[in-house]
Amino acid sequence: MLTSPELAARFEDFWKAHEDSPMMGRNKILAGVCPGVAGLLPVKLSALLVLVGGVARREEGSSNIRGELHLLMLGDPGTGKSQIMKWACRASPGRAVLTTGRGSSGVGLTVAATRDGNSWALEAGALVLADGGLCCIDEFDGIRPHERAVIHEAMEQQTVHVAKAGLVTNLSTRTAIIGAINPRPGTTVTCGRPLTEVTGLEGPLLSRFDLVLLLADPRHPDWDRVVAGHVLARGGATIPSWQHR
């Protein structure tokens, strides 16, 4: 990501001011990450790290190691997963694509062959369109089982091999991925069962994610008060007296 000299100087000044308290500096940055969602600092930090990314490298005797990070958020409904992804798409320094697993087929995520008159053409899907940027996939479990294998190569090898309608090519999918998923019916985030049972995703696909975060709804009055106070404060309303108890 390119930065201007002025922005680089502000960055250095910020961290010099927090040289003795780097965690305070970190928390100030996280305060601007999806500010509409209360708490969830580990999740916000993870989303920010996905946007920053890593460094791609090639180790001797091994394949390329991607610099893009993949994050999966497994959480109860209403825990802020969709809001985090929408913020990440807006804040992404590169291109960003927001899609949903229930509305995307294997073709919709990768590439489709479409007829153009008497010839065929390739139409890029979400992962190809997000090459060099970010792809957020809500309801990741909605991707049909026989289509999930299509994105294995796209996530790890960062390419999609296409052989359709006489067209043979490789397309780049150098994109970071943030996925969101709810627990399967009959399970909970904290039930202690294997992630394959809770998510309904196969182990090989889960292993493509660098980080899997569990977001459980505390369902506790104290936390409800914190969330209510946060919403009221952002709306400019006066925080009720019970918020200060």
* 128-172 pLDDT tens trace: 889 989 999 999 988 877 677 778 888 888 888 877 777 788 888
Confidence at residue 1, expressed as pLDDT on a 0 to 100 scale: 54
Distance of alpha carbon 79 from its chain centroid, rounded?
15
φ/ψ (deg, to 5) at 59: -90, 145
pLDDT digits (tens, 9 = 90+) for 11-48: 899 999 998 999 999 988 888 888 888 778 899 999 99
Give bridge partners of residue 100 from the DSSP assignment.
138
Confidence at residue 236, expressed as pLDDT on a 0 to 100 scale: 59
- Average pLDDT of the segment spanning 42-68: 84
Tell me which CATH code domain 64-234 carries. 3.40.50.300
Confidence at residue 126, expressed as pLDDT on a 0 to 100 scale: 87
Alpha helices in 92-161 (DSSP H): 106-109, 126-129, 145-148, 150-156
Confidence band of 72 (pLDDT split at 50, 70, 90)? very high
CB 191 within 8 A of CB 198: yes
Q: 159 Cβ partners below 8 Å, 6+ apart? A: 153, 170, 171, 172, 173
CB 219 within 8 A of CB 78: no
Confidence at residue 243, expressed as pLDDT on a 0 to 100 scale: 47
Helix (H) or strand (E) holding 159: strand 159-164
Distance between CA atoms of residues 140 and 180, nearest Å: 6
Higher per-residue pLDDT: 194 or 144: 194
Higher per-residue pLDDT: 245 or 45: 45
Q: Between the CA of residue 154 and those of 81, 123, 174, 177, 237, what are the distances in Å?
A: 23, 16, 8, 10, 46
Confidence at residue 178, expressed as pLDDT on a 0 to 100 scale: 95
Tokens 């920053």 map to which residue? 52
Distance between CA atoms of residues 52 and 67, nearest Å: 10
Beta strands 64-65 and 57-58: pairing type?
A: antiparallel
- Average pLDDT of the segment spanning 75-85: 87
Contacts of range 30-34, beta carbons closer than 8 Å, 24 or more positions apart: 33/87, 33/91, 34/80, 34/83, 34/84, 34/87
Per DSSP, the three-state class of 229 is helix
pLDDT digits (tens, 9 = 90+) for 107-126: 678 887 777 778 888 878 88
Confidence at residue 67, expressed as pLDDT on a 0 to 100 scale: 86
Give bridge partners of residue 65 from the DSSP assignment.
57
When mean pLDDT is compared across 71-75, 129-133, 158-162, 196-200, the lowest value belongs to 158-162
On whether the pTM is more than 0.85, the answer is: no
Tokens 């569990």 map to which residue? 214
Of the candidates 164, 91, 158, the residue with the CA atom closest to the CA atom of residue 123:
164
Confidence at residue 84, expressed as pLDDT on a 0 to 100 scale: 92
Confidence band of 209 (pLDDT split at 50, 70, 90)? very high
